[in-house]
């Protein structure tokens, strides 16, 4: 058989030289810094806006008119960001890459603080799809904001500095876990058991631990208990992103879904050269709970951003936005599930991604017979193949897992519903949604190169 008839899949590391390896490692050092600075959607959105401003981007709300070459952004409620570099002809469509900056975590309830059995605790309500047992007995950091009734905003970040205290959720000692062992794994730790330990010294007046903690918080942040009502406080893993393996070929970190594709998206968007189409980068919130709400991808604020580009170029007319969308191409930049060597039976190996084998394309996602999937058109998959193959981007095409064993989705269908050609394209991950997700440095860098090639394509 002729050699190139066969689609030979080989590990990406085998094809690179020492210089390329160094570029990959340097890039990932910066990525690791980003992960350590941005553990919440608010922190990521502010980081992204700072980076955009430093690269000449301007808030669209501050400009009257827009022309070719302009670099603009819109930050939505400190939680999501849209950015654009205006090309030659907006109506001929956009090159869009969309990722999300929220990750699974434990949110504090509106009335979080109480004491029980001589310990001070925070009640939590988990956000996104977590395996609850993974969140006990690990160090947790508290990130977020408390907004007082007078609108004064207090930013909180405790547990990231080595001198900071951390928080943690308890679990039963094995000696007394006989009943827990008999439960199914999904029920072994219940949602209402995810209460974080936050103190143990009682108030000398009335022996209340809760009141002692409240007075500490009052002294440090000038807040009262009622101020928790208007807060968004998130418990996230306190550990730092690390190099994984003797060869340091992987990154292990919290929140790589989907901050890995978000970082690649941002870097590719800023570094793309000689562009002709209008490039748009989306950094969405609320993907992990269904893309709902006014900061999620279903929100019409994205349509508003595109309409404003048309308005301020004086080229808007009824349905112009629909025309823009129908001419647009998009990569939905979200992570995929790589084959886990310990749990290979959930993957169908001919149609699975392996870490180190390049950026992953998912033609469709969904569950139970592709339900909920936007399913990219073959013609569009060919377009993306062409971009990747002509730029020597190593990619793999796969599915989430075996048929009928589960499923999932991304923001892809939301943009596809607008008329945009969309395909999922991201970094394969092991231990997705756990407090410590794994990605290959090769794939992280290859996704960046792939996104950049997409932005640079006509």
User: Which residues contact Mn ion by CB under 5 A?
Assistant: 257-258, 334
Specify the residue, 90 or 251, whose C-beta has the smaller distance to Mn ion.
251
Specify the residue, 41 or 257, whose C-beta has the smaller distance to Mn ion.
257
At its nearest, how many Å lie between Mn ion and the CB of residue 102? Answer: 9
Q: What is the dihedral of CA 364, 366, 371, 374, to 10 degrees?
A: -40
Q: What does residue 269 show for φ and ψ, rounded to 5 degrees?
A: -60, -45
Residue 123 has a CB neighbour count (10 Å cut-off) of 16
At its nearest, how many Å lie between Mn ion and the CB of residue 339? Answer: 18
Calculate Rg over the CA atoms of the chain: 23
At its nearest, how many Å lie between Mn ion and the CB of residue 259? Answer: 9
Closest residue to Mn ion, judged by C-beta, is: 258
**Alpha-carbon torsion 407, 412, 413, 416, what sign?**
negative
DSSP 398: -
Specify the residue, 212 or 410, whose C-beta has the smaller distance to Mn ion.
410
Distances from the Cα of 64 to the Cαs of 81, 114, 314, 402, 418, in angstroms? 20, 51, 10, 52, 27
Specify the residue, 72 or 96, whose C-beta has the smaller distance to Mn ion.
96
At its nearest, how many Å lie between Mn ion and the CB of residue 202? Answer: 41
Phi-psi region of 118 (alpha: psi -120 to 50; beta: other; left: phi over 0): left
Residues paired with 395 in a beta bridge: 359
Q: Are strands 105-116 and 336-337 parallel, antiparallel or unpaired?
A: unpaired
Specify the residue, 227 or 288, whose C-beta has the smaller distance to Mn ion.
288
Query: To 10 degrees, what angle do helices 41-54 and 256-271 make?
Result: 10
SS3 call for 308 = helix
At its nearest, how many Å lie between Mn ion and the CB of residue 104? Answer: 7
Specify the residue, 258 or 360, whose C-beta has the smaller distance to Mn ion.
258
For residues 418-435, b (16+ Cβ closer than 10 Å) or e, as one string? bbbbbbbbbbbbbbbbbb
Specify the residue, 255 or 358, whose C-beta has the smaller distance to Mn ion.
255
At its nearest, how many Å lie between Mn ion and the CB of residue 285? Answer: 12
Specify the residue, 87 or 98, whose C-beta has the smaller distance to Mn ion.
98
At its nearest, how many Å lie between Mn ion and the CB of residue 429? Answer: 9
**In which order are the strands placed within the sheet that holds 105-116?**
153-158, 140-147, 231-237, 105-116, 119-127, 196-199, 168-169
- In the structure encoding, which two tokens stand for residue 140, read together? 């947790």
DSSP 241: P
Cα separation of 313 and 309, whole Å? 6
Residue 387 has a CB neighbour count (10 Å cut-off) of 21
Specify the residue, 197 or 298, whose C-beta has the smaller distance to Mn ion.
298
At its nearest, how many Å lie between Mn ion and the CB of residue 293? Answer: 16
Specify the residue, 99 or 279, whose C-beta has the smaller distance to Mn ion.
99
At its nearest, how many Å lie between Mn ion and the CB of residue 213? Answer: 33
At its nearest, how many Å lie between Mn ion and the CB of residue 9? Answer: 24
Contacts of 234 (CB under 8 A, 6+ apart): 39, 40, 105, 106, 107, 108, 127, 142, 143, 144
């Amino acid at each position: 058989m002729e050699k190139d008839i066969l689609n030979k899949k080989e590990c990406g590391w085998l094809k690179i030289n020492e210089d390329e390896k160094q570029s990959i490692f340097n890039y990932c050092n910066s990525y690791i810094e980003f992960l350590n600075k941005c553990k919440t959607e608010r922190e990521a959105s502010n980081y992204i806006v700072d980076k955009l401003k430093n690269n000449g981007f301007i808030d669209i709300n501050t400009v009257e008119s827009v022309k070719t070459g302009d670099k603009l952004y819109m930050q939505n409620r400190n939680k999501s960001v849209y950015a654009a570099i205006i090309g030659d002809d907006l109506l001929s469509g956009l090159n869009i890459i969309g990722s999300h900056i929220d990750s699974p975590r434990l949110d504090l309830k509106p009335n979080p603080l109480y004491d029980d059995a001589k310990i001070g605790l925070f009640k939590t309500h988990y956000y996104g799809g977590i395996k609850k047992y993974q969140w006990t007995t690990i160090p947790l950091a508290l990130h977020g904001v408390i907004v007082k009734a007078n609108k004064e905003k207090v930013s909180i970040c405790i547990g990231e500095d080595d001198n900071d205290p951390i928080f943690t959720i308890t679990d039963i000692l094995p000696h007394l876990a006989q009943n827990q062992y008999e439960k199914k794994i999904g029920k072994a730790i219940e949602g209402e058991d995810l209460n974080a330990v936050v103190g143990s010294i009682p108030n000398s007046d009335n022996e209340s631990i809760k009141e002692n903690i409240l007075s500490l918080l009052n002294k440090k942040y000038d807040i009262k208990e009622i101020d928790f009502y208007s807060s968004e406080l998130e418990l996230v893993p306190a550990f730092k992103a690390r190099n994984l393996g003797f060869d340091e070929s992987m990154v292990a970190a919290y929140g790589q879904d989907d901050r890995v594709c978000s970082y690649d998206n941002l870097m590719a968007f800023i570094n793309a050269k000689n562009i002709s189409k209008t490039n748009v980068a989306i950094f969405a919130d609320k993907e992990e709970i269904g893309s709902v709400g006014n900061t999620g991808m279903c929100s019409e604020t994205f349509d508003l951003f595109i309409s404003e580009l048309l308005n301020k170029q004086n080229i808007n007319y009824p349905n112009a936005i629909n025309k823009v969308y129908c001419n647009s191409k998009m990569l939905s930049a979200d992570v995929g599930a790589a084959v886990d060597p310990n749990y290979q039976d959930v993957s169908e190996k001919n149609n699975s991604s392996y870490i180190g084998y390049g950026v992953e394309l998912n033609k469709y996602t969904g569950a139970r017979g592709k339900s909920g999937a936007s399913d990219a058109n073959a013609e569009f998959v060919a377009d993306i193949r062409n971009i990747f193959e002509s730029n020597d981007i190593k990619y793999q095409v796969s599915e989430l897992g075996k048929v009928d064993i589960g499923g999932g989705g991304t923001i892809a269908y939301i943009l596809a519903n607008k008329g945009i050609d969309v395909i999922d394209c991201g970094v394969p991950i092991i231990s997705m949604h756990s407090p410590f997700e794994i990605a290959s440095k090769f794939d992280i860098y290859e996704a960046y190169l792939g996104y950049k090639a997409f932005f640079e394509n006509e």
